[in-house]
Amino acid sequence: MRMHHVGLVVRDLYAQELFYRTMLDFATEYRYSSRNTPGLRTVFLRRGDAVVELLSTADPEKIPAVSDGAVAGEGHLSLEVDSVEGEYERLRALGAPNLTPPRNTGDGFREFTLTDPEGNRIEFCRRIRPFAAPPLAGVIFDLDGTLVDSEDNYFEADRILLEEYGVAFHPDMKKKYVGYSNFLMMEELHRDYNLPDGPEVLLEKKNAIYLDLARRNTPAFPEMRRLLPLLEERGLALAIASGSSPSVIDEVLAVAGIDAHFPLRLSAEEVPRGKPAPDIFLEAARRLALPPDSLVVMEDAKYGVEAAVRAGMRCVAIPSLPQPPLDPAFSMADLLFEAGMTAFSADAFLAWLDGQGGARENGNA
55-86 pLDDT, tens digit each: 998 654 454 443 333 334 468 999 999 999 99
39 and 148 assigned to the same domain: no
State the CB neighbour count (10 A cutoff) for residue 84. 20
25 and 142 assigned to the same domain: no
Say what the pLDDT of residue 276 is. 94
37 and 139 assigned to the same domain: no
Comparing C-alpha atoms, which of 207, 170, 215, 168 is closest to residue 186? 207
Say what the pLDDT of residue 72 is. 40
146 and 243 assigned to the same domain: yes
Say what the pLDDT of residue 210 is. 84
**pLDDT class of 363 with cuts at 50, 70, 90:** very low
As a whole number, the mean pLDDT across the chain is 89
110 and 76 assigned to the same domain: yes
State the CB neighbour count (10 A cutoff) for residue 364. 12
What is the extent of the structural domain holding 95?
2-127
pLDDT tens sequence across 86-130 = 999 999 999 998 899 999 999 999 999 999 888 889 999 999 999
Final residue belonging to a domain, choices 87, 102, 127: 127
**How many domains are there within the chain?**
2
Say what the pLDDT of residue 153 is. 84
State the CB neighbour count (10 A cutoff) for residue 12. 15
Percent share of the chain, pLDDT over 70:
93
**pLDDT class of 155 with cuts at 50, 70, 90:** confident
Q: Does 212 have pLDDT greater than 60?
A: yes
Q: Higher pLDDT residue, 213 or 240?
A: 240
Q: Which CATH number belongs to the domain containing residue 6 in this structure?
A: 3.10.180.10
| φ/ψ (deg, to 5) at 327 | -60, 140
- Residues 309, 314, 39, 80, Cα dihedral to 10°: -100
184 φψ region: left (φ > 0), alpha (ψ -120 to 50), beta (else): alpha
187 and 116 assigned to the same domain: no
198 and 219 assigned to the same domain: yes
Tell me the mean pLDDT in the region 206-220: 87
115 and 138 assigned to the same domain: no
Final residue belonging to a domain, choices 106, 127, 148: 127
Say what the pLDDT of residue 357 is. 56
145 and 252 assigned to the same domain: yes
136 and 249 assigned to the same domain: yes
Say what the pLDDT of residue 68 is. 34
pLDDT tens sequence across 234-293 = 999 999 999 888 988 999 999 999 999 999 999 999 999 999 999 999 999 999 999 999
Say what the pLDDT of residue 14 is. 96
Name the pTM for this structure. Answer: 0.84
Q: Does 147 have pLDDT greater than 80?
A: yes
* Residue 57 contacts residue 40 (beta carbons within 8 Å): yes
Say what the pLDDT of residue 287 is. 98
Say what the pLDDT of residue 69 is. 34
255 and 279 assigned to the same domain: yes
Final residue belonging to a domain, choices 100, 127, 154: 127
Q: Which CATH number belongs to the domain containing residue 195 in this structure?
A: 3.40.50.1000
Say what the pLDDT of residue 75 is. 87
Tell me the mean pLDDT in the region 22-51: 94
Q: In this predicted structure, which of 15-24, 211-220, 311-320, 355-364 has the lowest mean pLDDT? A: 355-364
Q: Does 317 have pLDDT greater than 90?
A: yes
The alpha carbon of residue 196 and the mean position of all alpha carbons in its chain are separated, in whole angstroms, by: 36
- Determine the Cα–Cα distance for residues 343 and 216; give it in Å rounded to an integer: 26
Say what the pLDDT of residue 59 is. 59
148 and 111 assigned to the same domain: no
DSSP state of 221: P
